[in-house]
Amino acid sequence: MRILLVLFLLANTYLFATDASMEIIKKGTNLPNILINVSNKTTDKDYAKKIEHIIYQDLLVSGHFDVKLADDSLDFSSSPNYVTQGKKKTDLLVNIKVHQDKLQKYIVEIKLFDINKQKEVLHSSYSSKVMNRYPFLGHRISVALNTYIKAPNINWMKKFVIFARYISAKQSEIVVADYTLTFQQTIVKGGLNIFPKWANSKQSAFYYTTYNYRKPTLMEVNLYTGSQKKIISSYGMMVCSDISRSGNKILLTMAPSGQPDIYLYNTKTKIKTKLTSYPGIDVGGHFVENDKKIVFISDRLGYPNIFAKGLKQKGVERLVYHGKNNSSVTTYKDYIVFTSRETDNEFSNNTFNLYLISTKSDYIRRLTLNGKNQFPKFSNDGESILFTKNYAGKSSLGIIRLNYNKSFLFPLKVGKLQSIDW
């Protein structure tokens, strides 16, 4: 029963997966107006429309543009009517053309026109051998457009999201996707495979827990070769919750004797160090403050709450004084985002909201309004939060843009989401 409770704390929600719906909007001022156009000379208009839709969503999510779709079509070899577009308050126009080369590779060309400067300012080409990878072509184009206006980078849009998806009893698979969940590819299947975690910032490998052996086992998978190797096993449970910046140290939740605790494991020396020793539940460790401390979830108060301790210290400190059920946490430098249950009856239809705090001050900020919002994950630049939302019978993957007061939802249509990372 204790292990079941721990697994609940580590994975206590699910969601179903492709269009984004805006949940919270606070418009910025003086955003450049950009018009997206699909050339009338494109040879695959359906593919071009898909690219257009991805770019539209990306620019909307970025918070850096006022985005519109063109009603008519501009020839790819032509320039727009600068005077007409100027009267329409258009600042930028991007023209998209799609065709295939002799090897059947998809080629996406774009031209970006600065209406105020009355000239073409960008002409780029992107290609892919695989049709269903078009979301990443769209994300690359969006990043290039964002770079032109010198806005804060949105490179995280090009990154993979990885998640575990339940498909039936004791059957779950590991899936790699783009952040909109438009592209999805199953990497691991067969048996119970859960808690995926990227092994490095390059996303060339990932860890996951499998229950297909005699003991729960942490596996490492090379994303590009598909090769797998066993890292460490333990009776009771085995979960990798965080990776150090160097990639050489990982935080594990293990229960070799039925007692869940946090362990530090060095992947080079193969040495593990027990960081917590409490006759209760300690799970979900995350590095904080340049990997010198960890934050984790513990029931030391009789309910889940967030605590911190130095790697070389025995004492712990309570970090959160809001709510009485804080069952998931993520960190970026000195900042922490956690879930808080907003109702007292744990068996009722509870609301779980996300809050942002700092380890250096009393700062606290509420990030969500309603529903079950869980599994927060910081982007690598700390400006965005990935999370899951279950509300009004619908479950989705959400993106919070912290500096823009915007939140977007992307529904998962097949399977049940068990855990996520990006």
What is the structure's pLDDT at 2?
53
Band (pLDDT 50/70/90 cuts) for residue 129 is confident
Of 136-145, 273-282, 361-370, the range with the lowest mean pLDDT is 361-370
Dihedral-angle region of residue 90 (phi above 0 means left; psi in -120 to 50 means alpha; beta otherwise)? beta
Cα separation, 349 vs 370, in Å, equals 11
**Percent share of the chain, pLDDT over 90:** 64
Q: What is the mean pLDDT of residues 93-106?
A: 88
What is the rounded distance in angstroms from the CA atom of residue 53 to the CA atom of residue 178? Answer: 14
- Nearest of 184, 160, 159, 158 to residue 173 by alpha carbon: 184
394 band by pLDDT with thresholds 50, 70 and 90: confident
- Is the predicted pLDDT of residue 13 greater than 50, yes or no? no
**Could you tell me how many residues make up the chain?**
422
- Supply the pLDDT for residue 27: 42
Around Cβ 20, how many Cβ atoms within 10 Å?
Answer: 24
Longest dimension (CA), the chain: 74
Place of tokens 């839709």: 53
At 292 the three-state DSSP class reads: coil
Q: Is pLDDT of 120 > 70?
A: yes
What is the reported pLDDT for 344?
57
Nearest to 340 by CA among 316, 315, 320, 313: 320
Mean of pLDDT over the chain: 88
Residue 39 phi/psi, 5-degree rounding, is -60, 140
Q: How far is CA 41 from CA 44, 74, 81, 92, in A?
A: 9, 9, 18, 20
**Running DSSP on this structure, what letter comes out for residue 405?**
T
pLDDT of residue 258: 87
| CA distance linking residue 340 with residue 294, whole number of Å | 19
Taking the model in full, what pTM does it have? 0.87
pLDDT for res 217: 97
Measured between alpha carbons, how far is 400 from 384 in angstroms, rounded to an integer? 5
Spatial contact of 183 and 132, defined as CB atoms under 8 Å apart:
yes
Whether 153 contacts 139, CB under 8 Å: no
> pLDDT tens digits, residue range 18-40?
444 444 333 445 899 999 999 87
Give tens-digit pLDDT for 201-240.
Answer: 899 999 999 999 999 999 999 999 999 999 999 999 999 9
- Long-range interactions of 337-342: CB distance < 8 A, separation 24+: 337/367, 337/376, 337/378, 337/385, 338/306, 338/376, 339/373, 339/374, 339/376
- DSSP string covering 94-163: EEEEEEE-TT--EEEEEEEEETTTTEEEEEEEEEESSGGGHHHHHHHHHHHHHHHTTPSP-GGGGS-EEE
Q: What are phi and psi of 351, to 5 degrees?
A: -105, 130
What is the DSSP-derived secondary structure letter of residue 79? P
d(CA 126, CA 130) in angstroms, rounded, equals 12
Tracing tokens 């994300």 back to the chain, one arrives at 139
pLDDT band for 345, please (50, 70, 90 cuts).
low
At 144-202, the pLDDT tens digits run 999 999 999 999 999 999 999 888 888 999 999 999 999 999 999 999 999 999 999 89
> What secondary structure, in 3-state letters, does 189-239 show?
CCCCEEEEEECCCCCCEEEEEECCCCCCEEEEEECCCCCEEEEEECCCCEE
pLDDT band at 7 (very low <50, low <70, confident <90, very high): low
321 CB-near residues (< 8 Å, 6+ apart)? none
What CA–CA distance (Å, rounded) separates 271 from 288?
21
Place 346 in a pLDDT band, splitting at 50, 70 and 90: low
Domains, the chain, in order of start with CATH, read 2-18+156-421 (2.120.10.30), 33-148 (3.40.50.10070)
